[in-house]
């Protein structure tokens, strides 16, 4: 069932509680990156322009249910006030009489930002009493915090039971459009690229997409669990014992279901985890190559780059989660950069970057504006791709 959108609300004169994601990086009390605050503006500005009175809530860091000043949202209130032409109130409390008064006194077109919801243990335990206290501050709930939508917390899910209506904001709407809607009938060829480290984190995604994708490309540290499962030499490359049987099973499943699951034809091996390392593109595995003892595979090799690029050049839908190598170190960034570039140049494809490190990589190479969509959630985007229902979405009213 489609969920209610903030666009469908009639917010004039109402108090609307918007759960935003203001979990911004801070250094010495200063915000070092305000992307998340800027990203929240479309939903906020739309509701304000239609006469809403807004109560905004977010978590910041992991204060573990205690009031810790270093996790206060005060700097965020200040920054939001600079970014938006609206009055932003902040009283330094999350619930209680002072907040209730401030919420009651809000004028049309004004904002009250609550203090960090995770100062209360009831937030993460989804305590109904805490959810009710939050709900008492507003008439309507809007969830626009995609990054925490996979958590059933008081301000992301519990609150929805105690308000007139609960709707998704524009960020959540966009995430669902690309990570769910686009995949129902993807334009083909549909290619999935998975990299990064943990096979067990991504197995759900592989299983969910084995029948849907035309090709699954595996890179990053993940590939070595597969290569080890096949009996190849992997030197000191990253591979966790518990991932080997999982990798074996995935290979068997792909074969049984006729999905083209492709491992990198070769690797870049290095004798040190640094820019000063000696590096060498190995003989392809199919020709008997492998990683030497004492060496570590830290990027995909040149044959793999060519093969992956040729497939991605002709793709019509691409989902990418996880870098091809240790892109944070320039000596091992070539494979990840090549994938970024081929996706940026394939303007005929819908290119969806699924959260976390792949978004960091795309931004590092300055190609963010060339992608169709970049997810704002790590765990939440993986769960959506797995086909799971997110509690922060399930709790919303039906359209």
- Residue 208 host element (H or E): helix 199-209
Among 98, 306, 314, 328, binds ligand AMP (CB under 6 A): 328
Q: Does 301 bind ligand AMP (CB under 6 A)?
A: no
Closest CA to 353 of 331, 326, 376: 376
Residues annotated as catalytic are 36, 198, 356, 379
For the chain, counts of helices (H) and of strands (E)? 14, 17
Q: Does 196 bind ligand AMP (CB under 6 A)?
A: yes
> How many other CB atoms are found less than 10 A from the CB of residue 8?
12
Q: Does 265 bind ligand AMP (CB under 6 A)?
A: no
Return all residues near 174 (Cβ < 8 A) that are at least 6 apart: 373
Closer residue to ligand AMP (CB): 222 or 342: 222
Size of the site for ligand AMP (CB under 6 A): 16
| Residue found by looking up tokens 């793999």 in the block | 304
- Please state the closest distance from residue 353 (CB atom) to ligand AMP, in A: 12
Residue nearest ligand AMP, CB atom distance: 196
Residue 276 burial class via C-beta count within 10 angstroms: exposed 0-12, middle 13-18, buried 19 and up? exposed
Among 36, 197, 228, 337, binds ligand AMP (CB under 6 A): 197
Q: Does 325 bind ligand AMP (CB under 6 A)?
A: yes
Query: What is the distance between the alpha carbons of residues 49 and 105, in angstroms, rounded to a whole number?
Result: 19
Q: Does 322 bind ligand AMP (CB under 6 A)?
A: yes
Q: Does 147 bind ligand AMP (CB under 6 A)?
A: no
- Please state the closest distance from residue 138 (CB atom) to ligand AMP, in A: 36
Q: Does 228 bind ligand AMP (CB under 6 A)?
A: no
Q: Does 198 bind ligand AMP (CB under 6 A)?
A: yes
| CA-to-CA dists, residue 379 to 204, 357, 375, angstroms | 12, 12, 11
Closer residue to ligand AMP (CB): 146 or 238: 238
Among 9, 282, 326, 371, binds ligand AMP (CB under 6 A): 326
Q: Does 356 bind ligand AMP (CB under 6 A)?
A: yes
Query: What is the distance between the alpha carbons of residues 72 and 166, in angstroms, rounded to a whole number?
Result: 26
Segment interacting with ligand AMP (CB under 6 A) among 38-46, 118-126, 194-202, 247-255: 194-202
82 DSSP β-pair partners: none
Residue 170 burial class via C-beta count within 10 angstroms: exposed 0-12, middle 13-18, buried 19 and up? buried
Instruction: Tell me which DSSP letter residue 362 carries.
Output: H
Please report, as ranges, the residues that interact with ligand AMP according to CB under 6 A.
196-198, 201, 220-221, 238, 297-298, 322-323, 325-326, 328, 356-357
């Amino acid at each position: 069932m489609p969920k209610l959108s903030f666009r469908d609300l009639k917010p004039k004169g109402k108090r609307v509680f918007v759960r935003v994601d203001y979990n911004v990086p801070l250094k010495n009390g200063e915000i070092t990156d305000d992307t998340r605050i800027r990203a929240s503006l479309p939903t906020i500005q739309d509701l304000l322009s239609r006469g809403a009175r807004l109560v905004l809530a977010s978590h910041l860091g992991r204060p573990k249910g205690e009031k810790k000043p270093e996790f206060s949202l005060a700097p965020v209130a200040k920054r939001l006030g600079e970014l938006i032409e609206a009055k932003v109130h902040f009283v330094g409390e999350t619930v209680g009489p002072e907040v209730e008064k401030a919420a009651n006194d809000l004028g049309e077109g004004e904002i009250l930002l609550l203090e960090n919801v995770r100062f209360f243990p009831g937030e993460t335990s989804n305590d109904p009493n805490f959810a009710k206290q939050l709900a008492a501050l507003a008439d309507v709930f809007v969830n626009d915090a995609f990054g925490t939508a996979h958590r059933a917390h008081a301000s992301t899910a519990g609150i929805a039971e105690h308000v007139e209506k609960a709707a998704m904001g524009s960020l959540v709407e966009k995430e669902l459009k690309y990570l769910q809607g686009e995949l129902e009938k993807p334009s083909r060829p549909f290619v999935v690229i998975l990299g990064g480290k943990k096979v067990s984190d991504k197995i759900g995604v592989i299983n969910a997409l084995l029948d849907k994708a035309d090709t699954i490309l595996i890179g990053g540290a993940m590939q070595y669990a597969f290569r080890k499962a096949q009996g190849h030499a992997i030197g000191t490359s990253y591979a966790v014992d518990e991932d080997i049987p999982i990798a074996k099973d995935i290979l068997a499943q792909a074969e049984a279901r006729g999905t083209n699951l492709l491992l990198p034809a070769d690797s870049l091996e290095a004798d040190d985890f640094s820019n000063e390392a000696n590096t060498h593109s190995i003989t392809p595995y199919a020709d008997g190559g492998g990683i030497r003892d004492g060496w570590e595979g830290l990027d995909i090799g040149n044959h793999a780059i060519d093969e992956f690029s040729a497939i991605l050049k002709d793709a019509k839908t691409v989902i990418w989660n996880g870098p091809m190598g240790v892109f944070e170190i320039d000596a091992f960034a070539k494979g990840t950069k090549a994938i970024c570039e081929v996706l940026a140049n394939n303007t005929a494809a819908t290119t969806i970057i699924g959260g976390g490190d792949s978004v960091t990589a795309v931004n590092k190479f300055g190609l963010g504006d060339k992608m169709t969509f970049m997810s704002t959630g790590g765990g939440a985007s993986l769960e959506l791709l797995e086909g799971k229902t997110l509690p922060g979405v399930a709790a919303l009213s039906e359209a």
